[in-house]
Amino acid sequence: MQLNRERQLPASLQDTWTALNDVTVLQTCIPGCEALTPAAEGEFDLLIVAAVGPVKAKFKGKLRLTDLTPPERYTIHFEGQGGVAGHAKGSAHVELQPCGDNETTLKYSAHAIVGGKVAQVGARLVDMAAQKLANDFFAALEQHLRGGVAAIS
């Protein structure tokens, strides 16, 4: 699976960077996130409930940040195990660029490999689920950056 997207966010470069590195903000904005706990410098333990087509599972995993160039870019590496539902592993390169005083362009390129029952539902459903997860995350992040309470359905 490969996603390459660009989003306009309603905040300055520094405010966007701060939000993207705030554990509380991320836990609130990541759909299905039940826990996001710092484990070491630049590493986090993650517990998330995710559904891909008919397969719904609780995934336990890790996030690791590398190539940090504040407040411009970093790479997120992730891996998770969902028991019999399967597993996922991948990374996303995130780049921020200022667009005026209160707007930031966020570009990301993500790729992931899934296995187990999740992979058996088909690439189209996996891609749709990944796109929905990204859209829901950015909707909640935008709401947070505008000063609202980010809530995920």
Where residue 16 sits, what CATH number does that domain have? 3.30.530.20
Query: Does 151 map to a domain?
Result: no
The pLDDT score that the predictor gives to residue 150 is 53
Q: Which residues contact 55 (CB under 8 A, 6 or more apart)?
A: 85, 86, 117, 118, 120, 121
- The count of structural domains within the chain is 1
Quick count: other Cβ atoms within 10 Å of Cβ 59? 22
> Domain range holding 62?
2-145
Query: Does 28 map to a domain?
Result: yes
What type of residue is 73?
A: R
**pLDDT, mean of each 10-residue run, the chain (153 residues):** 94 96 95 96 95 89 97 97 93 96 95 90 87 93 84 47
The pLDDT score that the predictor gives to residue 153 is 44
The pLDDT score that the predictor gives to residue 1 is 86
H-run or E-run covering 89: strand 87-98
